[in-house]
Structure 1
Amino acid sequence: MAHALLRTSAVVTAAALCAGLASASASAAAGPHRGALVSAEHLRTLSSGQVAGQLAAAGYEHASVRNGVDTYRLVYRTVDAHGRPTTASGLFVLPRTGRHRLRTVSYDHGTTSYKGDAPSTTGDGFAPAPALTYGAAGFAAAEPDYLGLGLGPGVHPWMNVPSEVTASVDMLRASRAFARRHGRELDRKVLVTGFSQGASAATALGRALQNGSDPWFRLGALAPISGGYAFRTAEIPALLNGGVEPKSGTLYAAYLLVAFNRLHHLYDSPAQVFKSPYDETIEQLFDGTHTGEELFNSTPGTIGDLLTPYGLKLLTDPPERFAAALKVLDGTCQWTPKAPTRLYFSRNDEQAVNANSTTCRTQLGTQVPLIDLGTGNYQGSRHLGSNVAGTAAIVRWFLTLK
């Protein structure tokens, strides 16, 4: 589910990315400790007025701004989708307050395919705006880039829930270690949120924290926004029947098949799944080095123009290996939260159809409020607009929690 996939990418120089990737990859072999810091780079110091200006320019509310912030790019040790040591990066925001002990927000971002669009590497205001919102409200905010994005080596395993969880947990560990170096302590109760792709990542992270995946951190509250929680039963049917905006649906179908093939071997050749001429280019377009604009301009407008009959059959009747992978993806809401939980969605979302959120609410339990954010939009997208409205609503809610 997208935030930057369909938009022009922010510019990050290839030289800077390659240098960071080489450094991070070389350091990965130096030690096995998940969450250990590899490097920390100070990005910006912003006054409260500057944060408010940044948020306003990005289209976000700034009523909750109370203080300035310092932002950092952390590179840390984690594991890849196969459990092998690797590194990942993320954005960490510390509030400029005198408080020693800080309440902590973990925010998981929506879909992007370009390394330079990740929260810690983009100059675009949309991706880092939630972390800035929480930091300027007085929280410490951790926003992982996930595997293969930002300064992470390799390609991004899109919608791979287990690696989203390990990257998020390890980002929290790295953030705690970094905060201690600056004389701050992160509260063990984590306020977990996320948008779109990051919403299902957040529900899975909440479950992991509740189940003791880390010896220090625990789930303090959960508030995901507009997630793709039910791909097999809700999202994929909507991609195929027009319930999802056609161009968005085409890109999601392509990303799903390319990313899942890399992990689960769904096809032997792109030509089995993708029509000519896209079979020659589609996998390269999702290698992390192509901007959202390139991806948009190099793909057709409908799924029917992209996929072969076999490609369509993979989606309508997934073989056993694909079905098993989708079951993991669709299982992030199958638990009962013990911490305060709210689900947020946007009515008639053109990308994450509402059946995703109603399914998740049924699975989590009727005690969980399902909050309609209305029909506001961001750059013409109701889906993106839900992240803007949801972030404003959630920071207000988090500020009321003890």
Structure 2
Amino acid sequence: MSDETRKSHESRSSWRTRRGLAGAAALLLAGLAAAPVAAAAVQPDSGGHTGGPTGHRGALVSVTPVVDHDAAQVRAFLAGRHVAADRARYGVRAYRLTYRTVDPQGRPTTATGLLTLPRGGAHRLDLVSDTHGTMVTRGYAPSASEDTGRVPSYLNASAGRAVAAPDYLGLGEGPGPHPYMDTRSSVTASLDMLRAARTAAARLGRPVTGDVYATGFSQGGQVAMALGKALQSGADRHFRLKALAPISGPYDLQGQEVPALFDGRVNDTSGVLYISYWLVAQNRLHHFYGDPAEAFRAPYASRVERLLDGGHEQGEVVEGLAPTVRKLLTPTFYVRLRHPAGWLLAAMGAADHTCDWKPDVPVRLYAGDGDTDVPIGNARTCERTLARFGARVRLVDQGDVDHFGSLAVSAPQVVRFFDRVG
């Protein structure tokens, strides 16, 4: 086992331990928070929202208080995850929103997300969109668990902004499977979360200004870029994009992320998890195979879709699959993935154009040289592409940090960047 692979395994072991402890703590905190926040309860929406011809998209279904922390508790939460808390001036109150949106086929559905508000600061609040990274367990979504995924929400809210963190489709309390790395539906869920957050914040007495700062980590970094593109193009007249600051996003599947599965830049554990999740989720949309055995070797073909049903822990998924991508996939499919064509190429291409535009706002890309989940080449491709379109963009290379380390180091810097822009 190489040092990098050992670091990855140790990181994941620590990550799973923290998640287990955080999940237990979240149950206690939610119970403690319910009483003081109950007076701020919001009634469900009775009809359609506002989002134009789509009618009910973004309509608020329910608001559930989930946490109420003072500033000292916020700083303790961040310190426990080795995150700088110098901008944590206020306590936070967080709410689970259930709202209306659409699935990848455009059919009505619901999704959930976390709205976090500062306990103090201005009456009218700017709004941060925070889109989370890859998760295979629906119960670890931002609205469902007080986990490391809440770090950006607490950081930005404690600095004085409202934060809308969508769970995406099929995670949290949203129905159905999660369409992992389907950029289009991730953007619709994120945009509709902004709409629901706007409604909820107004009813909670903290209306938002309409200025949106977009950030996200890993999968969410790619989503943040695409959401920024949608906002600038006028997806909703109530929102104005102010700045973009994604962290360690897989912006270049075809040119960087997928080739890195085969050349050692992505560690084996993460490579197996990501490609399994991507193939199972994308097969529902693009039909790469009719039977899992066409893509996955035995015995993994018989269990991969069950393991990735949203109900299994990440550790269970990893332990139930092969140790390497080569041992996971059939020889034929392994070659197909190394030289993609047809639907495989189309699926990659659908996610590979989030940097092909000119933002009218300042952009910071954050990434680390030591990342063996999403290699920094993804960010370099995005930086070059944005610059070619004339964007004001800068890549902040965090040096020799791993994937989750890039979040811990970058998230406080994102808050300071937003403060300067604002």
Q: Secondary structure in 2 aligned to 1:400? A: helix
1:216 pairs with 2:241: no
Give 1:98 deviation, angstroms. Answer: 4.9
Cα drift, residue 59 of structure 1: 2.4
TM-score by structure 1 length?
Answer: 0.91
Length, aligned pairs only: 380
The answer to whether residue 197 in structure 2 is matched with residue 175 in structure 1 is yes
Match of 2:72 among 49, 60, 67: 49
2:123 is equivalent to residue 66 of structure 1:
no
Displacement after TM superposition at 1:264 (Å) = 0.7
Residue 160 of structure 2 is aligned to residue 119 of structure 1: no
Task: Please give the alpha-carbon distance, in whole angstroms, between the structure 2 residues aligned to 1:28 and 1:261.
Answer: 35
Q: What's 2:356 paired with?
A: 334
Q: Give how far 1:112 is off.
A: 0.2
Deviation readout 1:201-228 (Å, 9 max, x if unpaired): 0000000000000121121100111110
The reply to whether residue 371 of structure 1 matches residue 396 of structure 2 is: yes
Runs of 4+ in 1 over 2 A off after TM superposition: 3-12, 27-32
* Cα-to-partner distance string for 1:105-136 (whole Å, 9 max, x where unaligned): 11111000110011111132x11111011111
8 Å CA contact 2:45, 2:60 repeated in 1:
no
- Match status 1:276 vs 2:298: yes
User: Could you say which residue in structure 2 is the equivalent of 1:142?
Assistant: 164
> Is 240-249 or 200-209 further displaced after alignment?
240-249
User: Is the CA contact 1:4–1:292 (under 8 Å) kept in the aligned structure 2?
Assistant: no
**Post-superposition shift, 1:4?**
8.1
Structure-to-structure mapping, 1:301-316, within 5 angstroms: 301-316=323-338
Assess if the C-alpha contact under 8 Å between 1:165 and 1:205 holds in 2.
yes
1:3-402 map, 5 Å: 7=16, 10=20, 11=23, 33-124=56-147, 126-365=148-387, 367-376=392-401, 382-402=402-422
Q: 1:29, 1:85 within 8 Å by CA — same for their partners in 2?
A: no
C-alpha change, 1:73 and 1:227, in structure 2 (3 Å) is same
Q: Is the 8 A contact 1:90 1:120 kept in 2?
A: yes
Q: Is the Cα–Cα contact under 8 Å of residues 74 and 91 in structure 1 kept in the other structure? A: yes
Letter in 1 for 2:416: R
Structure with the higher helix share, 1 or 2: 2
Amino acid at match of 1:46: H
- How far does residue 340 in structure 1 lie from its aligned partner after superposition? 1.2
CA drift of 1:333 comes to 0.5
Amino acid at match of 1:99: A
Say if 1:271 and 1:363 are closer, same or farther in 2 by CA, change over 3 A.
same
SS at match of 2:85: coil
Q: Distance in 2 between matches of 1:350 and 1:145?
A: 25
Offset of 1:297 from its aligned partner? 1.4
Separation in structure 2 between the aligned mates of residue 30 and residue 69 of structure 1, nearest angstrom:
29
| 1:4 and 1:111 in contact (8 A); partners too | no
Whole-Å separation in 2 of the counterparts to 1:101 and 1:30: 25
Contact kept, 8 Å, 2:81 with 2:408, in 1: the verdict is no
Aligned partner of 2:419: which letter? L
For residues 187 and 29 of structure 1, what CA distance do their matches in structure 2 show?
24
1:400 corresponds to which letter in structure 2?
R
On the 8 A contact 1:28/1:77 being kept in 2, the answer is: no
**Shift of residue 58, structure 1, vs aligned partner:** 2.3
Distance 1:328 1:29 in 2: 36
Root-mean-square deviation (CA, aligned residues, Å) is 1.9
Report the 3-state secondary structure (helix = DSSP H, G, I; strand = E; otherwise coil) of the residue aligned with 1:58.
Answer: coil
Structure 1 pair 34/397, CA: closer, same or farther in 2 (3 Å)? same
Contact 2:47–2:56 (CA under 8 A) maintained in structure 1: no
State which drifts further: 328-337 or 344-353.
344-353
Structure 2: gaps of 5 or more residues: 1-10, 25-43, 49-54
The worse-fitting range, judged by mean Cα deviation, of 37-46 and 58-67 is 58-67
Q: Which has the higher contact order (CA 8 A, sep 6+)?
A: 1
What are structure 1's unaligned runs of at least 5 residues? 13-26, 377-381
Q: Distance in 2 between matches of 1:73 and 1:242?
A: 39
Structure 2 counterpart of 1:64, which letter? R
Q: Aligned-pair distance for 1:30?
A: 8.0
TM-score (norm 2): 0.87
Gap change, CA 1:72 and 1:368, over 3 Å in 2: same
Within 2, Cα distance between the matches of 1:29 and 1:185?
A: 20
The change in CA–CA distance for 1:272 and 1:152 in structure 2 (over 3 A counts) is: same
- The change in CA–CA distance for 1:341 and 1:85 in structure 2 (over 3 A counts) is same
Q: What percentage of aligned pairs have identical amino acids?
A: 46
Q: Specify the SS of the correspondent of 2:340.
A: coil
Counterpart CA distance in 1 for 2:105 and 2:241 is: 26
SS in 2 for 1:202: helix
- 2:313 and 2:276 map into 1 onto residues whose CA distance is 15
Q: Which of 360-369 and 253-262 deviates more?
A: 360-369
SS in 1 for 2:371: coil
Aligned mates of 1:157, 1:239 — CA distance in 2: 21
* Aligned-partner residue type, residue 393 of structure 2: V
SS in 1 for 2:363: coil
